[in-house]
Structures are given as structure tokens and as C-alpha cells.
């Protein structure tokens, strides 16, 4: 799969970046392409290029706050979870995303 997404937490510091790293590691381990943008106290980092969004199969929003720019993903499936889910069980979460995408069911 080609995965894009956003990570953001209440403080915009620790959980934002930990969630990003856990998602990237788990997705790559499972053989997927992934690009996660962070929205934190220092603003947007690693903004997702439009060409990656156009090629994406799914967008993951791992956030504890409202994120900006979700409208960029309107043509693909969006799966939203709290940062805690991807921090605690990133591999399990990616497997769930795979199942959802295969079945077309809700996450």
C-alpha cells in the first residue's frame, strides 16, 4: 500500500513525533510505502507532496487534536485514531489497516 497521513498531539511535541516514527517503522516493516506529516508546536513538518497524495491508497490521521489539511485526502480512505493507538501497538494497527483496505470495512 501507499500510505500518507498526519500525526499530531495536544502538546504538539512528544506524541506527535513518536507516533510518526512508530507508523513509519511498522508500515515499512510490512512492506508499505509511507509518508507522515507532523503538525506540532513548530508547525507543519514533512508536508506531504501532492504527487504522494495522488498515489496513496489510504490516509492515516493519528491525532489527539483537530488537524489541518484533511481535505487533501478526500479521494482516498481516511482512518483516524488517537496517537496512543499507534504508539502502543503500531504493528497491530498497520495489520488492521491492511484488513480494512482488503475488506473495505470500517476501521
Active site (catalytic) residues: 9
- Half-sphere exposure in the Cβ direction for 19 (13 Å, CA): 29
What are the start-end ranges of the E strands in the chain? 2-8, 33-40, 43-45, 58-63, 77-81
- CA distances to 11, 13, 69 from 51, rounded to whole Å, are 30, 27, 15
Q: Which residues contact 75 (CB under 8 A, 6 or more apart)?
A: none
**E strand or H helix at 68:** none
Amino acid at each position: 500500500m501507499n500510505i500518507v497521513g498526519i500525526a499530531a498531539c495536544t502538546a504538539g511535541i512528544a506524541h506527535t513525533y513518536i507516533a510518526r516514527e512508530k507508523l513509519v517503522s511498522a508500515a515499512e516493516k510490512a512492506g508499505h510505502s509511507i509518508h507522515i506529516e507532523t503538525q506540532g508546536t513548530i508547525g507543519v513538518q514533512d508536508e506531504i507532496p501532492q504527487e504522494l497524495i495522488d498515489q496513496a491508497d489510504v490516509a492515516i490521521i493519528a491525532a489527539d487534536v483537530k488537524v489541518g489539511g484533511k481535505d487533501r485526502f478526500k479521494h482516498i480512505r481516511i482512518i483516524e485514531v488517537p496517537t496512543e493507538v499507534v504508539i502502543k501497538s503500531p504493528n497491530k494497527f498497520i495489520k488492521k489497516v491492511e484488513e480494512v483496505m482488503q475488506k473495505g470495512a470500517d476501521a
